[in-house]
C-alpha cells in the first residue's frame, strides 16, 4: 500500500509526501478550528495524526466520520518533532474482522 509506519514518520523531512494507514482511534472537530478535522490513526508502531481541511472533509464526510480503518495521504508537517500529515486524500482500508471502537469527538 505504500504506507509508512507511525514510528518511521519522524525520519522524514518536513514537506515530504507520505501515506499513513491504520485504525482511527480519535476524531476531533473543535468549534474553534474553523472547520478543520483532526484524526489520530494507530498502527502496530504507534499513533499518527492527520489534519483534514474543510473542503476535503466535505468531500469525504461519511468516510472520515465513520470509517474505522483509513489510509491518509498528504504532506508531512514535521516542526520540532511535532508531526502531522496535512491530508490531500483519504481512502478506506479494507479490514473487516476486528472489533474496535474509536473515541470520537471527545
The mean per-residue pLDDT over the stretch 54-66 comes to 96
Q: For residue 97, name the pLDDT band (cuts at 50, 70, 90).
A: low
* pLDDT level of residue 101 (50, 70, 90 thresholds): low
pLDDT in tens, 8-58: 998 899 999 999 999 999 999 988 889 999 999 999 999 999 999 999 999
Per-residue pLDDT band at 91 (split at 50, 70, 90)? very high
Burial code (b: 16+ CB inside 10 Å, e: under 16) for 19-52 equals ebbbbbebbebeeeeeeebebbbbbeeeebbbbb
The answer to whether 9 and 76 are in contact (CB under 8 A) is yes
- Helix intervals (H) in 1-106: 54-59, 61-66
Pairing type for strands 37-43 and 17-28 reads antiparallel
Cβ(23)–Cβ(102) below 8 Å: yes
CATH H-level, domain 9-96: superfamily: Nucleic acid-binding proteins (2.40.50.140)
Amino acid at each position: 500500500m505504500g504506507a509508512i509506519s507511525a514510528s518511521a514518520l519522524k525520519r522524514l523531512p518536513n514537506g515530504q509526501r507520505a501515506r499513513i494507514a491504520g485504525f482511527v482511534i480519535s476524531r476531533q472537530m473543535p468549534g474553534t478550528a474553523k472547520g478543520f478535522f483532526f484524526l489520530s490513526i494507530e498502527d502496530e508502531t504507534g499513533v499518527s495524526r492527520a489534519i483534514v481541511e474543510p473542503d476535503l472533509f466535505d468531500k469525504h464526510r461519511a468516510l472520515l466520520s465513520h470509517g474505522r480503518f483509513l489510509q491518509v495521504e498528504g504532506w508531512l508537517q514535521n516542526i520540532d518533532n511535532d508531526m502531522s500529515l496535512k491530508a490531500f486524500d483519504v481512502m478506506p482500508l479494507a479490514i473487516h474482522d476486528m472489533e474496535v471502537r474509536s473515541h470520537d469527538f471527545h
